[in-house]
Chains A and B, each alone.
Chain A
């Protein structure tokens, strides 16, 4: 094709038709939208403002909430959760969902421990134990993710059912493998990943930050990232436009599985044990955090930074209510209410942006 289609070469077709009144009208409709974006409660970072508001509202009544020790505590809880939630965000962007992440964490944890443990591990005591353990753990995540992705794209099964059954299977397998016992005596070099730090910067923070940056770049700048959003917006249109939908969707689930495994490494290291029930309670937090941040359950919308805000918010609620001495069950109730509220805010915001 020559000049016309070659957009980057600079030629254009001129079709002149006056249409100024219509254009003016639509422009002013847009001005409204721009204004709405500046309002903190309809901004895409509204949850971040809400977090700050919440913190300052509760700080006076919650002794110790604003202390440095507590900040460290919040971060150690936040980091692995963030990693899982980021993987989940990638899947949610494609319009899917990954319910198997918590079981992946558990299975990965016990398999890694079975490799590394000094008690009866296959490589117990070897100096390769830690590396082999980490590789095995990540491999488990990748395999579970690939299975999910393949079942969803090749056999066209709904993501909800596929990942739900994977969750049940992986969880069962983890318990069966360990006869529901925890595995102790992991190599210190492994535990250091979860607990240690270089100078004052914890390894966990380094790992999480690297992952977050990598995922951010992938989602916002790479070809695969654009394709992920396109699939979430309209998978059929993506197919027609030549996007390799199957391959890209599988990539999303593999990323989610890998993220779960990475989180499992941090959790397992911190606990110094391989546990078949590790992470069983965080599924709500993972999906909740992503959605509170602004990621759409219908696909096409989601950002790393949003999920960071969402995780921060959820962790802060958890932590503050804990410090107020409330029970786990009460915290659950409050969290449920807060997630509902955030969803309401999101619906309200969408309606405002839609113009009515």
Chain B
């Protein structure tokens, strides 16, 4: 904190204003800086916000939780000036507040940091921070960008945030965590009094998350208020002073942190107690091998990976971001090359090509469903049928130009969409982009189920998925194993791995550092191995 203040003194006008602002905030600490009063919003006659009221206190972090579709984003878009509201009122520092444009919200000191960061990756840090309002100077009466002022101000902002990069660094060269800091620098540069953080930690490593939290603590101490949206309830409990739970456009719970537990939040979000997030593992693991990997290596990415995945087994892969888990999955599937090593699927050596491996029974759910998983504009049926299309050719037809049996495709897609319970679609022609994250993920799962594989590689299947849909995806994974498929489950949530897996492999810097049996499951041991601390054991 002291360091931050010092830096502020060194900085230009802009930051000095932050300080003045802080004094102001401190005076009214404990009073609400922002009040929502019976906010109403409808889309096409459907009420998505039904009179939402709560207050944000100055210098507090307020955790806003709720399932996808509960109205969190709509409310924040209203606050950020992206959407207008129909009825009710907002008061900012006691004054009426109704922004008509994001720029107006920014002018009032409301900064919105979106989950998918709004940075121009081809521009520098400084340019990104000042993109909305470049500092200017005049040359012969013509206003031009004052690059020096911009650089100096950026420098002091970056120093305050402890981001060690020059203002000229292009954003594309920054890690996700550093990009998040740039967004926060952007918020500070407009003297933000309220910062909205939407799922700020989803793409951050453990270390980056810690760094972000430390920064949020410092900002809070400075009197900046924040609204923190996350599906990670542990983080919410840890960081937030107050918590508001939304369900179906209504506040169903609000209060101080002390009044909440994770269970209570989940119960409020779902509208009932979710007695069992993780289904019971009933099935026995077969002795037959579904996937065998021997000495798989790709220099600089993965090293000497060996393990066996049995039929009916859920094998977890734990590790920190950058441990090589996704890279392993991609190499197994044939998306990325592997220099050495042998892979066999159901006892037969894996063909080199991706298509060959799919035909041999491999399926891969990518971690980035938007970029690599779904055809967002296309309908559910099209998405679901994609991987299994050749199996719907009219009998006899085997070629490219063969005709497909459309009714059969539709029947199969309908059936599989029902069995994984895709929700929120009036019919299966509806574009996938209209579905919530959890339902989109179910569509990708359904696609692979239709291809009838025997080995599933699931890379972060529950990322960005709400609690209800998570439980359903867990149920599906369990069911797959019960029916004899081998499941390789990559996840960053240790709870999830412990709840679902028969065994957990732990990776660190491209190597397997530990293999933990179900009876020995232990958070600490897994985390230690993920940090590369444990002695390497032979897996499989």
Chain A residues packing against B (C-beta within 8 Å): 1-8, 10-13, 15, 17-19, 21-23, 25-32, 217-218, 221-224, 226-227, 229-230, 233-234, 236-244, 247-248, 251, 300-301, 355
B424 an interface residue at 8 Å Cβ cutoff?
yes
B294 to chain A, nearest CB (A): 24
Q: If the complex has contacts A28-B45, A221-B404, are A242 and B387 also in contact, measured as CB distance less than 8 A?
A: yes
| Cβ contact of B419, chosen from A12, A238, A251, A301, cutoff 8 A | A12
- Please judge, given known A-B contacts A1-B484, A19-B468, A222-B401, whether A8 and B374 are in contact too, CB under 8 Å: no
Q: Who on chain A is nearest to B393 by CB?
A: A223
Q: Give 22 A-B contacts (CB < 8 Å), ordered by A residue.
A: A1-B485, A2-B484, A3-B483, A6-B452, A7-B412, A12-B418, A13-B420, A15-B472, A15-B476, A17-B471, A19-B423, A28-B44, A29-B434, A223-B402, A226-B386, A230-B378, A237-B373, A238-B386, A241-B358, A241-B447, A242-B355, A247-B400
Chain A CB within 8 A of B375 CB: yes
Question: Which of the residues B335, B376, B449 comes within 8 Å of A234, measured between beta carbons?
Answer: B376
Which interface residue of A8, A223, A237, A244 has the most chain B CB atoms within 10 A?
A237
Given A240-B335, A242-B354, verify A22-B393 contact (CB < 8 Å).
no
CB distance from B366 to the nearest CB of A (A): 6
Pick from A1, A233, A237, A244: contact of B453, CB below 8 A.
A1
Flag B365-404 by CB within 8 Å of A: 1 or 0 each. 0100001111111100010011101100100000111111
Rounded to whole Å, the gap between the CB of A142 and the closest CB of chain B is 15
**Complex formed: what's the CA distance from A11 to B412 in Å?**
11
Segment of B194-202, B425-433, B518-526 engaged in the interface with chain A? B425-433
B292 contacts partner chain A, Cβ-Cβ < 8 Å:
no
Taking a contact as CB atoms under 8 Å apart, the answer to whether B377 and A239 are in contact is: no
Partner of A7, one of B419, B475, B484: B419
Ranked nearest first, the 9 interchain pairs of A and B with the lowest CB-CB distance are: A233-B375, A30-B426, A12-B419, A7-B416, A242-B358, A241-B387, A26-B424, A241-B386, A236-B372
In chain B between 35 and 55, which residues have their CB closer than 8 angstroms to a CB of chain A? 43-46, 48
Given contact pairs A29-B43, A234-B372, a sample of 4 additional A-B residue pairs in the complex whose CB atoms are under 8 Å apart:
A7-B412, A12-B415, A17-B468, A226-B389
How many Å from the CB of B482 to the closest CB on chain A? 8
**B386 contacts A23, C-beta separation under 8 Å:** no
Query: Is B452 within 8 A of A230, CB to CB?
Result: no
Q: Which residues of B contact A301 (CB under 8 A)?
A: 377
Contacts of B45 in A (CB 8 A): 28
Q: Are B378 and A300 in contact (CB under 8 A)?
A: yes
**Partner pick for A223 among B389, B424, B449, B483, CB 8 A cutoff:** B389
Residues in A with CB closer than 8 Å to B418 are 12
Residues of B within 8 A of A239 (CB): 335, 354
Q: Would B46 and A28 count as touching, CB distance under 8 A?
A: yes
Residues of A within 8 A of B434 (CB): 26, 29
B273 contacts which chain A residues (CB < 8 A)? none
Is B188 interfacial (CB 8 A cutoff)?
Answer: no
Contact-residue bracket for chain B: 35 or more
B44-A355 in contact (CB<8A): yes
Nearest-CB distance from A317 to chain B (Å)?
Answer: 29
How far, in angstroms, from A54 to B442 measured CA to CA in the complex?
46
Indicate if the CB atoms of A240 and B408 lie closer than 8 Å: no
Q: Which residues of B contact A5 (CB under 8 A)?
A: 449-450, 452-453, 480, 483, 485
- Chain A residue numbers with a CB within 8 Å of B393 are 223
B454 within 8 A of A: yes
B window 62-95: CB within 8 A of A: 69
Chain B residues whose C-beta falls within 8 Å of the C-beta of A240 in the assembled complex: 333, 335, 354, 364, 366, 372-373
Q: Are A13 and B475 in contact (CB under 8 A)?
A: yes
CB <8 Å contact, B387 and A221:
no
Min distance, Cβ A252 to any Cβ of chain B, angstroms: 12
Of chain A, the residue at the smallest CB distance from B70 is: A22
Q: Which chain A residues lie closer than 8 Å to B450 at the CB level?
A: 5, 7
Specify the chain A residue showing the minimal Cβ separation from B417. Answer: A7
Q: Let me know if B483 and A4 touch, CB within 8 A.
A: yes
Establish whether residues A23 and B484, one from each chain, have CB atoms under 8 Å apart when the complex forms: no
